[in-house]
Structure formats: structure tokens, C-alpha cells
Chain A
Amino acid sequence: MPSKNRWNQVRPTQYRVIDEFEQSNMAVGEALSRLSGKYRTDEANSTMHMTRERLLQIISRMDSLVGLDGVKEMVRQIFAHVYIQEQRRLARLKTDPLVLHMVFSGNPGTGKTTVARLIAEMFRDCGLLEKGHLVEVERADLVGEYIGHTAQKTRESIQRALGGVLFIDEAYSLARGGNKDFGREAIDCLVKGIEDYRNQFVAIIAGYENEMKYFLSTNPGLPSRFPIHLHFPDYTLSSLIAIARQTAQEHQYKLAPDAEFILRRKIQQALLDASREFSNARFVRNLIEKAIRHQASRLFQRSRVSREELMTLRAEDFREEDVF
């Protein structure tokens, strides 16, 4: 006997939701989300069929990253949480819904994109994500120029990310423009996408630490949807050297002792140079890649080169300024 209502339109489907609520064991929260047109089908597709050993093996993929101890520990915690929730579900105990969306904060080149890509693959390997790819977007990919354009662009990005990770770099810039800005619309649309495609993708928002804190405070729905915070601190000098060695090794090069000495000095200088933004691991990688090019032109002068020489980066490869 719903009465006629002058003030707002109540749809028949909404009464049906309440009837169903009355006759089943639906929780009030679920009834409310269905009243606002959202559906969730959690329980059914929570699927992590994993042995503990296999999981440890997957987690060990992070070991190749230099430093980042805090981040590695957090990721371990996340997997432990997921695993134990699954065990509790099997034991018919109460479980929290899995919310795996994350906030990454840290300066440029501290490994945010790298870790996001790794996490996507790790989630795929343990069955939490179907494809495990990474879709990297920024403000321009989400925000449109006219009304309706933003929703469309954001939706498309989410759709591309289904089965994997949607990585939003400099997410803060979405909240920058004030209430009229289309960035806000993109945030709303993202939140909606997170509801609509529950468990089908993981959103990671990244940026500088303070900006991310501000970003989360601009919409009351965000903090609980992004419960996982990973902070990426700047690398120490010794970590940067280790990253240099590792990068060289990946390309099948090694650093001569005098090369390592000069590399250390260059990094120290860059760390002290406050006038330019230091790009952490990226700076080091660029140095190595530049040195590889210099080594090639140095060796090209000679008629004969040994295998050993082909593999070695020397001090002079780092010394001169870029000539190209």
C-alpha cells in the first residue's frame, strides 16, 4: 500500500528491494546500495584458491626490488589478509569484503609504477585478477572538455582496466580545480565504477604524499574505498648504488671499481642539488643507459675488443657530459 508521493519518485523496483530485504537475510547496507541502483555479488566470486607455499612463492617476486622494505612488508600484509579472509570464509566465519584499491605516495622514480605492475601480476597469479595488466592513466585521460565527456572517458579507462589494475598517476590533480571542475566528475565516476565492477579491477591512485592526503579528504566515499596506503620513501645512497649495479647486470654489464666511485659522486651531487627535482631510481637508470652508449663509442675506436671489455663500464663512460 505505498502511498502516492508528491515529493519524490519512488520506483516500484525500490519497493521490491525492501520486500526482498524483509524476507531474506539481506543486510541493511546491501538494501541501501540496491536502492541507489548498485548491485554487489561479492560472496560468489571471491576466489583465491591458493596454498600457502604458492602464495609465498608469489610474494617472493618482490625480492628483486632494491630497498622498499616498508612497501614489501605492507604487500606481505595484504596477501596475508587476503589469504586468512579466504580461510575464514571456508570455515564459515564472518569475513570483511575485500577492498584492494590502494593509494601510493612518494616522489618521482621511487618505484610506484614498477610496484603497481608487479602487484597486478601477483594478483593475477593468485586468482584475484583475471588478466593482471596495468592501465596507466592521468588527468587528461579521464577528464573531458564538455559535459558528459568526462564520464565517457573515465568509463572507457575503467573498461580497459577490467581484469587488471587501473593506475592513476597524479590523482590529486582531479580534485584540484574546485567544485565546477570536471575532475570532480571523474572522481564520482571512478567511485561508481568501483562499485559497478566490484572485484573486477583494482584501482591504484598515486602522487605526492601530502597531495594524496588532501585528495582523499575531498570526497567522503574515498577513504574507505582506498584502505591500503603504501608510502614509497626516497632511496638512500646505498640503495641507489645497488639499483645501478642491478640495472647494469640486467643489460649484462658490470661496473668497474673506478666507475662505481664516480657514479657514487654523481649521485651524491644530484642528491645535494636542490635546484632540480631528483628522480631517484630513474636518475640512476638514465645514468647507466647513457654510460652504455658512451662505452659503445669508446670501444668503437678500437679494432679489437675482448669479451671482458664488452661487459665493463669504466669511469670515463660516466665522466663526460652527454655529447648527443
Chain B
Amino acid sequence: MNRPCSEVVVVGKARSGKTSLCRALAKTAESRRVSHPYPIRATSEQQRWLQEHASEQMEPMELTLKKGFLQKRWILRDTQSLVDDPELEGVRRESLAHTLRLLLQAEIIIHVIDATRALRPQRSIYHSEKEASGLHLQLEGVDLELYEYAKSRRAYLIVMTKTELLKVKWKKRDIRKSLGKIPVVFLQGTEDKAIDEVKQHVWRLA
């Protein structure tokens, strides 16, 4: 009976809203701190470093979702932000390797993307004209590489945060279209309705 729960790992770039999302999920679902050992653990040194240095990090949580009489449990894992710096050293590198292992082994990957950075009018350093209409999803750097890795996984969910801060008009439909079959949830702050959507996807993807 003591089989480990499946894992939901929340990953993304720095300040994208990973911890906020985890907190919102924990608040609205039944959750408790994980006390017994689970397969993938950070070393205490890594943990101490994370607590001191990552801006804010939630400890792994056991998350219970219910639908009628059914209930499922997950371990929800907040992670260190993916920093694309080859010069990383020591504990920072170790804890990032830890994040990668979590990513590899998780059942569900939630990729958190800051909409104010990734949704942009089509433009580039060489572009000759001013601006195209609307905003499009343009993934770059680690976001793109994470997307390329995760899209081949069975359970991959994208959460776009901070969409209420976008100043230009944009359409959810355009973004959905560009992502094909990959589900995406749009968060405005950590407002409840969209968080429910995240939970539904987690339930469905499991």
C-alpha cells in the first residue's frame, strides 16, 4: 500500500511563477506536507542551499484531488529555476541536476512560462518593419529546449502566468493553435478558476 505516488514536477525559468502556482494548487486542493521518504530527494545540503538562495521554494507536497468518490494523490514538486549558465558551480549545479532528474522521472510535467516574456509581436533584430498584429508564443533558450524535450512526453502541461499584465491584445486561440495537442492554461494572478483548470488537466493527464 505504500507505493510511491506519481509525481508532478513544476519547472520553468526564473521568476516565472512556479512557487506561486504550487502554492495556489496546495491551497485549493487537499494537501499535506510529505513526511515519509519518497524516491527522489534532494540532499540536505542542496535543500539548505535552495532554502537560502532560491527566491522562494515550496517543499514537496502531497496533493489529493477528488472527483466524486474517486481520489488520486500526487507529489507536487516545486523546483529550482532553469538557469542557462554554463558557469554554474557547486551546489547550484547539483541542485539543477536534481531538478533534471525530477523532470525525467515525473509523471506529469508542468512547464511554467511568464507570458509577459514569451508572448511577443513577431519581430526580430533583423526585422525590417515595425510590428505585426497580435501576440504570438515565441519560445527561446531554456523554454524552447524544455518544450522540445517535454512535448514527446505523454503528460505535458504548459501554464502561462501573468497574462493580466499583457498590454497588447492577444488571443488564447492563436497560442493554443501553435501548441497543437499540448494543453495550456492561462493564469491571471493566481485566480481560482484557472487553477481549477490546472487541476483538471492533472487529473486527466494522469
Q: Nearest Cβ in chain B — how far from A96, in angstroms?
A: 10
The answer, yes or no, to whether B149 is at the interface (CB within 8 Å) is: yes
Q: How many residues on chain B are close to A (CB under 8 Å)? A: 52
A237 within 8 A of B: no
Interface residues of A in 57-111 (CB under 8 A from B): 70, 74, 77-78
A98 to chain B, nearest CB (A): 13
Q: Are A33 and B139 in contact (CB under 8 A)?
A: no
Q: Are B148 and A228 in contact (CB under 8 A)?
A: no
A248 shortest CB reach to chain B, Å: 30
Q: How would residues 73 to 101 of chain B score, 1 for a CB under 8 Å from any chain A CB and 0 otherwise?
A: 00000000011111110000110110011
Q: Using a Cβ cutoff of 8 Å, how many contacts connect chains A and B?
A: 128
Contact between chains at A29 and B145 (CB < 8 Å): yes
Q: Are B97 and A21 in contact (CB under 8 A)?
A: yes
**Which of A3, A15, A28, A224 sits near B144, CB closer than 8 Å?**
A224
Interface residues of A in 210-256 (CB under 8 A from B): 213, 216-221, 223-224, 227-231
Q: How far is the CA of A31 from the CA of B179 in the complex (A)?
A: 23
Whether, in the assembled complex, A115 has its beta carbon less than 8 Å from a beta carbon of chain B, the answer is: no
CB of B65 within 8 Å of the partner chain: no
Chain A: which residue is nearest B4 at the CB level?
A3
Contact (A28, B142) CB under 8 Å given A7-B6, A77-B126, A227-B124: yes
* Selected contact of A213 from candidates B101, B132, B180, CB within 8 Å: B132
Whole-angstrom CA separation of A74 from B88 in the bound complex: 36
Residue of A nearest to B135 (CB): A217
Contact with A224, one of B40, B82, B126, B139 (Cβ below 8 angstroms): B139
Most interface-central of B88, B105, B147 (chain A CB within 10 A): B105
Given A25-B87, A27-B84, A217 and B145 contact (CB-CB distance below 8 Å): no
B179 proximity list for chain A (CB < 8 A): 220
Interface string of B138-177 (1 = CB under 8 A from A): 1111101111110011110000000000000000001001
**Is A220 touching B147 in the complex (CB atoms < 8 A)?**
yes
Say yes or no: A230 contacts B152, CB within 8 Å: no
Q: How far is the CB of B104 from chain A (nearest CB, A)?
A: 5
- Measured CB to CB, the closest approach of chain B to A59, in angstroms, equals 15
Q: Is B125 an interface residue (CB 8 A)?
A: yes
CA gap between A21 and B86 in the complex, in Å: 9
B87 to chain A minimum Cβ distance, whole angstroms, is 6
A6 beta carbon closer than 8 Å to chain B: yes
Pairwise interchain contact B177-A218, C-beta atoms closer than 8 A: yes
Does any Cβ of B come within 8 Å of A14's Cβ?
A: yes
Interface 0/1 of A1-44, CB less than 8 Å to B? 01101111010001100110110011111111101101000000
With CB as the reference atom, state the residue of chain A lying closest to B137: A220
Asked if A114 is at the interface of the complex by the 8 Å CB criterion, the answer is no
- One digit per residue, 1 when the CB lies within 8 angstroms of any chain A CB and 0 when it does not, for chain B 109-129 equals 000000000000010111111
Q: How far is the CA of A13 from the CA of B78 in the complex (A)?
A: 25
**A228 and B124 in contact, given A21-B97, A21-B100, A221-B139 (Cβ under 8 angstroms):** yes
How far, in whole Å, are A304 and B106 apart by their CA atoms in the complex?
A: 88
CB distance from B41 to the nearest CB of A (A): 10
Contact B149 A29 (CB under 8 A): no
By beta carbon, the residue of chain A nearest B206 is A7
B21 nearest CB across to chain A (Å): 20
Asked whether any CB of chain B lies closer than 8 Å to the CB of A179, the reply is yes
In the complex, how many angstroms separate the beta carbon of B183 from the nearest chain A beta carbon?
A: 14
The CA-CA distance from A231 to B122 in the complex, in Å, is 14
* Chain A residues, Cβ within 8 Å of B137: 217, 220
- The answer to whether A32 touches B142 (Cβ under 8 A) is yes
Does any Cβ of A come within 8 Å of B62's Cβ?
no
The 6 closest A-B pairs by CB, nearest first: A3-B39, A7-B107, A32-B145, A36-B149, A22-B97, A217-B136
28 examples of A-B residue contacts, CB within 8 angstroms: A7-B6, A7-B106, A8-B105, A14-B104, A15-B104, A21-B97, A25-B86, A25-B87, A25-B88, A32-B82, A32-B146, A36-B148, A36-B152, A38-B148, A74-B126, A74-B128, A77-B126, A179-B180, A213-B132, A216-B136, A217-B137, A220-B147, A221-B144, A224-B140, A224-B144, A228-B124, A229-B126, A230-B126
Known: A3-B105, A28-B100, A184-B180. 18 other contacts (CB 8 A): A7-B155, A18-B100, A21-B100, A25-B86, A25-B87, A25-B88, A27-B85, A31-B100, A74-B126, A195-B148, A213-B132, A217-B174, A218-B178, A219-B178, A220-B137, A220-B179, A223-B138, A229-B128
